[in-house]
Amino acid sequence: MKFLGNTLHIANSGKLIARSSNPPISGGIVFDSHKNKIGKVGYVFGPTKQPYISIRLFKSVDKEKIKRNYGEKLFVSKPKSRKRRGRSRRKR
């Protein structure tokens, strides 16, 4: 797991906004400092040196707990790779 950044606030859309020191992998799983899964990386926007990150929270996450812990450190891991199946070819 790599350090992602610190939490800032929850937007009106219900997404968690965080500030990072480097751009993360899009679709990566986000963990809090207690190694609990809280969501996935959605959008990365803002300046390139310290971008903002929009995190889509999982339904099981308690938003009130996140609101109380603003400034908490977040971590990110690589998204699970999906198997890509090639197009099947018919034999003639």
Confirm whether 19 is domain-assigned.
yes
pTM above 0.85, yes or no: no
- Contacts of residue 12, Cβ cutoff 8 Å, sequence gap at least 6: none
Distance CA 39, CA 34 (A): 14
Confirm whether 90 is domain-assigned.
no
Query: Which of 19-23, 24-28, 76-80, 84-88 comes out lowest in average pLDDT?
Result: 84-88
Confirm whether 68 is domain-assigned.
yes
Confirm whether 91 is domain-assigned.
no
- Domain span holding position 48: 2-77
pLDDT digits (tens, 9 = 90+) for 41-74: 999 999 988 999 999 999 998 888 888 888 899 9
Look at the chain and report how many structural domains it folds into: 1
- How far is C-alpha 72 from the geometric centre of its chain's CA atoms? 14
Dump strand ranges (E) for the chain.
2-10, 16-20, 29-31, 37-45, 52-57, 73-77
Token pair 């040196």: residue: 49
Token pair 């995190």: residue: 55
